[in-house]
Each structure stands twice: as C-alpha cells, then as structure tokens.
Structure 1
Amino acid sequence: MESETIGKYKNCTKIATGGMGAVYLATHPELKRKVVIKKLILKSGGAAIRERFKREARILSELSSPYVVRMFDYFTEGRANYIVLEFVDGMSLDKLIEKQVSLPPELALLIFLDACLGLKNAHSKDIVHRDIKPGNILISKRAEVKLADFGIASDEKDEFEEPKKTVDSDKTVVSTKNSSITQAGSTLGTPAYMSPEQLMDSSSVDVRADIYSMGVMLYEMVTGSKPYAGDMAPETIAKIKKGKYIPPQKIVKNLPPVVKTLIRKMMKPEPEKRYKSLEPVIAKVRRYLKNYDTHAIRVSLAQSIISTKTIKFPLYIPKNYKAKRIALGACAVCAVALLFCEAWNSGMIHRTVLRNWFTPVSLSMLMPSTASVNADLPARAFFFVNDNDGIPEVPNTRRVFSVAKNSSKGKNLEYITKDVFLRPGEYRIKIAEGPYVWWKSIYVGKEKVIMNLDFLKNASRNITVHFSAMDCETGKDLTQSSLFRIQVGSKWVDASKVDFSKLKTGNVYKFLMIHEGYYDEYFSLLIDWYQDELFITGNMRKK
C-alpha cells in the first residue's frame, strides 16, 4: 500500500476508511515513533460532526493518564481535520474476548482495574465517556491497557451532535431528536452497554452511567456473553429497566465473590443504588488482586495478545493458598509442620533427605547499580521442563532476584535467587525483567549448577519525557504557556532543543518548569535503568 504525507507526518499508510474520513498509521517526525492519524473530511455542511471531532481532541488534550490513549496533535489541512493519537500495538478487548471466549476472573479484574484508572482520570475532569465497551479498550503487546475513543464523551462544554442511527449492538448509537446532545431526548452510546437512563436520555447522564457500562463489560469478560441483547427492542429495554439478567455465577462456576458483588451493584438499574464514583470499585479490585502475582497475570495477558490463536490461561493461585491449606490441616501437629515447612523452603530437606534425587541450581545476574531492591519491575526466574512438547512449568520454582551481600561490581550490582532443586534432566530457564526476556536451555545432572548471567550488564534505554503544568489552586492547564528546561551538563536547555536520544536511563536528571507569575517548579530525579518514559506534572503556585 502506497504511503503519503499528511502535514509534517511522513510514511502515512491508510489502514481504515469510512464515509467521512480515514485512519492512517504514520511516524511522528520528532518522537520517531508510530502514531495513528484520524482524518475527518466533509464535502459540505456537517458542522456538528466537525464540532464533535474537535471536542474529542479537546477532551483528550485534558487527560493525562497512562491508562488513556494520548493525543499528540490536532490540526487542519484544506477541508480536512486531523487528530494524531498514540499507536497501541496490540488488539482491542472485544477481539480478545472473541478469541478467548471468556477470561479468568483474575485476568479480567486486572484489565478492569486499568480501565477504571483511565476512566477515573476522565471523571476527575468532569468528563463522562458514554461509550464504555470492550471495543474501546486497547491492550498492547506489553499488556498495557488504554481507554480510547472519546468521540461522544460529554463535559460542560458540549454543544453539538449530528444525528445518525444504528441497530448493531456493538456499534455506537448517536440518535437524537435534534442537533444538540445537551437537550433532552438524545440517545448516545452502544446499546448492549448502555444504562437505563442513557437509553432514555443521554443528555443528562453522569459518571454512574459509565460505572454501569463498566459493570456490563466485566460481566462479558468473565462470562463471554452480554447480559442483555443490544437490539433496543421493547422487551430488551424492559429487562434493562428492571435489571433482569442471568447472574454471572449461573454461567461461570466458582466466580469470586468480589466479581459478583461488583457486577450486581454496578449494574443496578437505579443510578442512586450504584457506586457514586470509581474509588470504592478500584479499592475492592486492588484488595482482591493483592493476593495474586499480578506480574504473572500481566505476562499471560501479553502472551494472549501476541498469540494469533486461543491460548490456555494458567491457574492463578493466591499467594497465601498453600499457607492456608497447611494451617487448616496442621492444628494437631502445628510445631512439627512449621519446622518441616521451614526446612523445605530453605532447601534443607533437598540437601539432606532428597539429595540423591534433586540437584541445586543457583542463579546470579549483573544489573545496573541504579536498580532498586524494591524495584517496580523485579527480575524473576521461571523454570520449565524441556520435553519438546508442552514445556510445562516446574511447580514451586519461581524465584525473585534480590541483591547479594557485597554485590557491588563497578557500575553493576549482583542479584541472586534462592537455590532451585530439580531432578536431573533437560530444562529451560526464563528470566523476565521489565521489557527484557531471556531464555536458556540447560541440562541438570548430579552436580550443582551455577549460572552467572550478564545479559543486562550496563543496560540502559533512551528516555522520553512528557511535561505538563497546572495551577495548583484552580487546576487550570498551564502546559502550553509554560517553559520546560532540562539541565544538560552545567547549562539549562529548553526541552524542545534537547536531543533526547542522548538521554539515557540510569542517571540523575534535573528539570525546571517556568511560568510567568508563578514560582518555578524544580525536579531532580534518579531514572532507574529500565524507566524509559517519564511523566512530570508541575503544580504551579502563584507568586
């Protein structure tokens, strides 16, 4: 497919087209990264559609969350309007559900939590999305979850809407009695996910309508089906108004109570009976997920996004599952059981009683000295049986690297794991640290295996910095009128003139935010070796 030039953007390849425009994949000239360009072109009239397009750009410019698709640019060229957006290389949630049919509750809640955090950012700015659905949740190949498509979102600045209709339950409805979405009688959203009040009149809905739609989306993720048909038939609307749907626990056995509770309350037909905000929803999900290895869950999510086929998700076992089982069965022999567990976990049993059957495997790895013991992305080791078939993971062998004593190795630190005890045979080892994954096939015999790894030695990445500034009292966005500077050597340099390809992780950088009439904001930050994207927001105080 031939590429073209749009404004300052080169290599623009059309990836989708419609009656009023097209979508392109292009390269940002300064950031040197792929972006998505949405083009709107109207032959004549269509002022309301153009205004809605501009409003989407304005709303996106006000949002600053890693869980929302970012907007990089908005411009006009000839009769066409353009929005330049972050490119999310992966798939939408509806495609993932279509491929997998349904998702494990823990995985569904992880996606749900990230979507809630993105939506919370919009709600904090009095923006109601009004079209929450799996098709508007994008998931990258690195398992990053992003909320997208604010085309029919509302805020206090809403003015226009262009009438159109659809009957597809997965397509957005924009059906109005007149040209203003702020007037009564309008219906906007996607039928299968709309709350009762949104079906009747979208002009006056608040954040509780989005909360309802999130409940519907959670229902679909865990069951693989929608609670209601999206045909807007009278009998369907009557069921939605009464809240009559098949409870998810009747479709999925052993559904966690937290999922049932969230769906039941979020999908209450009466808005006043739902959660008033996403705060308690987020708190409940976090409380549940803290019992699980969310890193492992996110890894399996990334695998499912990358794979072109349906995958079998692992069984996510709570961190304290085994401890509870032991506690319940060890009442009579508590002291003996505790001693045995300690001996087993420390490897004493394997080194003594089982020494003829198991061989210890020791791992050490050099990483940049800026890595923290309590890093956001701790390095982990996974062991698999190399059977040239299913490559199953060896139970109870996952390890987290920790700093070794006297570990300083110049610019690096030595990290080690507790010994893993394996029967002699063929194995594969996977080391995962942030965006880096390393595999190795090994043979374990009778002698102890000691592996010294240095593939992350002196590792560093280029840094991307995003600046924003706001009035600490009013919350007014001051970004466009502020100056942002970075200390390069002994000089302060305007951020727009800095060659970011020369800024590397693993160093301390100093940043300055300046705005006339406000006190300067100063930041001095140690950027860990893997933290390649930095967001800095200055809360500016008036002089």
Structure 2
Amino acid sequence: MTEPGTILKERYRLERLLGEGGTAQVWLATDERMGRQVAIKILRPQYAKDEGLLERFRREARIVAHLDSPYIVQVYDVEMSEGISFIVMEYIDGQDLKELIRFEGAMPPQRALSLLRDIAMGVAVAHEAGLIHRDLKPGNVLISKQGEVKVTDFGIARDMAGAGLTEPGKVWGTSHYIAPEQAMGRPLTPAADIYSLGVLLFELLTGKLPFPGDDPVAVAIAHIQEPPPDIQTLKPSLPAGVARLVSRMMSKAPEQRPQTARALVEIVTRFLEDSGDVTT
C-alpha cells in the first residue's frame, strides 16, 4: 500500500505523490538513512506480475545507473519491498518542460536553443552508451529551480546493439513526438531521437505542436505522411538558420537529420556562440 507516511525498506518515507502514468507513480520521499529527498518511481501493483513490464522497469534502472551526466536524472537504487517494485532517483525540485511551455508559450530562439542544447547533452551520453531514448518529450525533461535541465524516463530506451530494435506488433513512444520510422515499427537509429527533439524545438519556438490532435493514430500517420507546417509562417521573425535546423531535424528520412545528439549539440553550440547570432 502506498500512501503518505509509508516506509519502504525501512528507509524511504513517502511524502506526497508527484505524478503518475499508466504503469507507475512517482512519489517525493525522504531517504532517512542519507537524510535527503528522493523521487521514488513505484510500479503499479496490477503490473507487478507482468514479467515484461517488470523487466522493462528494472531495465530502466540498470540503463540510467550507467549513464553519468549532469543532464540526466540520477538513479540511486532499484528495490522490492513487500511486493512493491520501485526505483529510487534524484529528486529535482522544479517543473517539467511541458509546464514551462504552458507558462511561457513561444520562446525566443536563444532561449529555445539553449534548452535544446542542454537536453541534447543528456541524450548524447545515452547515444554514446549505445542507447536510444525513444520517448523524448517535454514531460520527460525536468528543469530545477536553479535552471538545471535533466532528461528522465528511460523506461522504453533500447540498446542499439541488441537483437532487434523493435518489437513485433508494438510501437513505443508518444505520438505527438514520434519519428516516422518509429511510428511504422521500423528499426531505429539515434536519428529517431533527433526527430523527437526537432518536434520539441518546433514547440519551444512556436508554443504549438506541428501535428496536434487527440487521436494518437491520426497524429502518428501525420508524422509519417505530412510535411510539418512552415515554421517561419507561424513565426516570421525566426532566423532562417534556425528554421532550416528545425526542418532538417524533422526530415522524414533519418539519414537527412543530424545523426546523433552529439552532432546536434555541436550544431546548436555554433548557433549560440557565433556572437549570439542564430541567423546562419
């Protein structure tokens, strides 16, 4: 049973619910042994006997535990207590990028590109470890009150070197940010994450999604078949170089995008460091 005051493993005291998804809840907790606040991701009880989900849950902890970056939420431990499976993570006192976009709306290019570079820094570490995130979206980016940017939720990340990067009959990811090849269930490369970051950059710059809608299938089909809206029509003041970057990142053909997050970091850094000029 999970409620405020519950103590897991005689160590972690649950304080309050921070958020929840289809398969898990995230709680703010106090690590009474270390004297610090942590975030605890708890698998919902109805999924505790689902070996597939349980393994995916454990994989997330193993994956992130090996990723050393200030741009990725740190994992401290993975545990089971009285039938409850949970991951103990770094607690970020702040908000997610989805909330920030809702509050700020369309952002100036410098602001949007700075956020993108920090996100890409975290994703680059995953790519260099042979991993593809597969679910990059504003809700999976946390921003602390000090402005630190952290990528989280590697629950559906996949090993590039593993046997097959797709699962027959299953398409993981969030339709508003999904790469065309991912929506079609094809094998993925890091360029799939670049597409998702392109959608995210589009949203940061315009305050809008390129393919809005409530029907996830229709949205996924739009990513596969339709060109994204002309971002300069939506934001005429946007420098041409930034518009070209968005277009390149959201290319339907994976080989036409920057191939890794590290390559994207280098591109964005050049934009930002060219005397503040983002017009090239």
The alpha-carbon deviation at position 140 of structure 1 amounts to: 0.4
Point out which structure has higher relative CO (alpha carbons under 8 A, 6+ apart): 2
The match for 2:40 among 37, 41, 65 is 37
When structure 1 is superposed on structure 2, of 3-12 and 212-221 the one drifting more is 3-12
Please give the per-residue CA displacement for 1:163-198, whole angstroms capped at 9, x wherever unaligned. Answer: xxxxxxxxxxxxxxxxx9743342110001111111
User: Do structure 1's residue 145 and structure 2's residue 128 form an aligned pair?
Assistant: no
Mapped to 2, the partners of 1:13 and 1:272 lie a distance apart of 47
Structure (1/2) with the larger strand percentage: 1
The alpha-carbon deviation at position 45 of structure 1 amounts to: 3.1
Name the counterpart of 2:135: 131
Q: State the secondary structure of the residue aligned to 1:25.
A: strand
Mapped to 2, the partners of 1:22 and 1:280 lie a distance apart of 34
Name the counterpart of 2:27: 24
Bigger radius of gyration among the two: 1
Name the counterpart of 1:289: 272
Contact 1:9 1:29 in 2 (8 A): yes
Contact 2:166 2:188 in 1 (8 A): no
The alpha-carbon deviation at position 20 of structure 1 amounts to: 5.0
The match for 1:262 among 245, 248, 272 is 245
How many residues align? The count is 272
Mapped to 2, the partners of 1:37 and 1:99 lie a distance apart of 26
Mapped to 2, the partners of 1:276 and 1:18 lie a distance apart of 31
The match for 1:207 among 173, 190, 197 is 190
Letter in 2 for 1:80: I
Contact 1:14 1:22 in 2 (8 A): no
Mapped to 2, the partners of 1:158 and 1:102 lie a distance apart of 39
Mapped to 2, the partners of 1:199 and 1:219 lie a distance apart of 19
Q: State the secondary structure of the residue aligned to 1:68.
A: coil
Letter in 2 for 1:216: V
Structure (1/2) with the larger helix percentage: 2
**Structure 2 unaligned residues grouped into runs of 5+:** none
TM-score, normalization by structure 2: 0.88
Mapped to 1, the partners of 2:99 and 2:41 lie a distance apart of 21
Please give the per-residue CA displacement for 1:425-463, whole angstroms capped at 9, x wherever unaligned. Answer: xxxxxxxxxxxxxxxxxxxxxxxxxxxxxxxxxxxxxxx
RMSD: 2.4
Question: Percent identical across equivalent pairs?
Answer: 36
C-alpha spacing 1:136/1:28, structure 2 compared with 1 (3 Å): same
The alpha-carbon deviation at position 101 of structure 1 amounts to: 1.6
User: Do structure 1's residue 240 and structure 2's residue 223 form an aligned pair?
Assistant: yes
Superposition pairs of residues 372-451 of structure 1, within 5 angstroms:
none
User: Do structure 1's residue 83 and structure 2's residue 83 form an aligned pair?
Assistant: no
Mapped to 1, the partners of 2:67 and 2:273 lie a distance apart of 27
C-alpha spacing 1:20/1:134, structure 2 compared with 1 (3 Å): closer
The alpha-carbon deviation at position 87 of structure 1 amounts to: 0.6
Q: State the secondary structure of the residue aligned to 1:189.
A: coil
Please give the per-residue CA displacement for 1:440-498, whole angstroms capped at 9, x wherever unaligned. Answer: xxxxxxxxxxxxxxxxxxxxxxxxxxxxxxxxxxxxxxxxxxxxxxxxxxxxxxxxxxx
Mapped to 2, the partners of 1:280 and 1:19 lie a distance apart of 34
Name the counterpart of 2:14: 12
**Structure 1 unaligned residues grouped into runs of 5+:** 160-179, 293-317, 320-543
C-alpha spacing 1:2/1:216, structure 2 compared with 1 (3 Å): closer
TM-score, normalization by structure 1: 0.47
The match for 1:195 among 179, 186, 189 is 179
